[in-house]
């Protein structure tokens, strides 16, 4: 793998984008390698969470402009589809995926972070949708995910002005959920992932699916889905979790 690194801490996977010469910009090779890693992680039944981060001063500085420049409209459509499919895969991944945003999350990098379940950012992180600077628009679902994250008005402001948002403002706007110092970013993110990994694995998968279902299908459909999903959690792990509480012991999810 040339453009990213995969490491593990226990049952948590850390994917680090590593193309420092292009601030980790997303080209076809990155997408191919990222999908290969996701294939591998998908078959790992011990896995409990995934963290995405970037090496150097960027999380991901967007789609690779030098690779995109000569694309025809048809090729741009195919590239957009690859981005949509990959980010949808992350959004629907069976375990939580957390973005640990260390630096620039711009354009496709912002879209990637928003496809994750939530974002933990260094106080040096910067966020922007700069596509209009290039005469483009977001092509990896940023036009849909950004308004849902920050509200329609602020999304329009970001999309029309390409303004760079500091981490503190991103926190106030609900784009980011937690801020840390740069040195603490990975430790803090790992701590959150370990907390998630200690919960009922089937319940985590189920609650992620249920929240997403409501996001994609609306409140009413989501409510119905929740009743069905709630009842489905009365399996062995649900029984074990409730028994452990009543018996004042730690649950054994296995
Ligand atoms: N693509 C390719 N190369 C990049 C990118 C990028 N997105 N960003 C940075 N680089 C390269 C620079 O060209 C530079 O290369 P070199 O050293 O060979 O000149 C190297 O990375 C370092 O960058 P800088 O020297 O510019 O570093 P600075 O610290 O001065 O600036 C910035 C950092 C502010 C992040 C600056 O690099 C920048 O503005 N980058 C471009 C950010 C951008 O516009 N991103 C959006 C791209 S469009 C997009 O993401 C749309 C997604 C949907 C696509 C749909 C498909 C059809």
Nearest CA to ligand 1 atom 45: 62
| pLDDT given for residue 254 in this prediction | 84
Among 28, 40, 23, 82, smallest CA distance to 15 is for: 40
What is the Cα 211 distance to its own chain's centre?
14
Compute the distance between CA of residue 182 and CA of residue 125 in angstroms, rounded to an integer: 9
22 lines ligand 1 (CB under 6 A): yes
What DSSP element (H or E) covers 51?
A: strand 49-54
**Residue 140 Cα: closest atom of ligand 1:** 53
For the chain, 254 residues long, the average pLDDT of each consecutive 10-residue run is 97 97 97 98 96 98 97 98 98 98 98 98 98 98 98 98 98 98 98 98 97 96 97 94 97 93
What is the rounded distance in angstroms from the CA atom of residue 228 to the CA atom of residue 239?
Answer: 17
The full 3-state SS of 161-209, as one line of letters, equals HCCCEEHHHHHHCCCCCEEECHHHHHHHHHHHHHHHHCCCHHHHHHHHH
Would you give the distance in Å from CA 27 to the centre of its chain?
Answer: 18
CA atoms of 211 and 42, how far apart (whole Å): 20
> Looking at ligand 1, which atom is closest to the CA of residue 57?
29
Q: Cα of 23 to ligand 1 centre, how many Å? A: 7
Does 130 sit in the ligand 1 pocket, CB within 6 Å? Answer: yes
Quick check: CB of 80 below 6 Å from ligand 1?
A: yes
């Amino acid at each position: 793998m040339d453009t990213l690194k995969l490491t593990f801490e226990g049952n948590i996977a850390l994917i680090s984008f590593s193309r420092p010469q292009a601030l980790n910009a997303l080209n076809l090779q990155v997408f191919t390698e990222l999908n290969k890693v996701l294939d591998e992680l998908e078959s790992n039944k011990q896995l409990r969470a995934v963290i995405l981060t970037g090496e150097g001063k960027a999380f991901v500085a967007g789609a690779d402009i030098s690779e995109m420049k000569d694309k025809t409209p048809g090729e741009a459509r195919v590239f957009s589809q690859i981005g949509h499919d990959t980010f949808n895969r992350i959004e629907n991944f069976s375990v939580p995926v957390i973005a640990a945003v260390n630096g620039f999350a711009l354009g496709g990098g912002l879209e990637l972070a928003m496809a994750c379940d939530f974002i933990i950012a260094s106080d040096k992180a910067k966020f922007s949708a700069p596509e209009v600077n290039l005469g483009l628009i977001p092509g990896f679902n940023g036009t849909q995910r950004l308004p849902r994250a920050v509200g329609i008005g602020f999304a329009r402001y970001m999309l029309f002005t390409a303004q760079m948002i500091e981490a503190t403002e991103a926190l106030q706007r609900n784009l980011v959920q937690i801020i840390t110092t740069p040195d603490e970013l990975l430790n803090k993110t790992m701590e959150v992932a370990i907390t998630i990994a200690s919960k009922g694995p089937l319940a985590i998968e189920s609650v992620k699916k249920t929240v997403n279902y409501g996001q994609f299908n609306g409140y009413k459909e989501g409510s119905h889905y929740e009743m069905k999903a709630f009842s489905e959690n009365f399996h062995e792990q649900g029984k074990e979790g409730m028994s452990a509480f009543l018996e004042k012991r730690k649950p054994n999810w296995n």
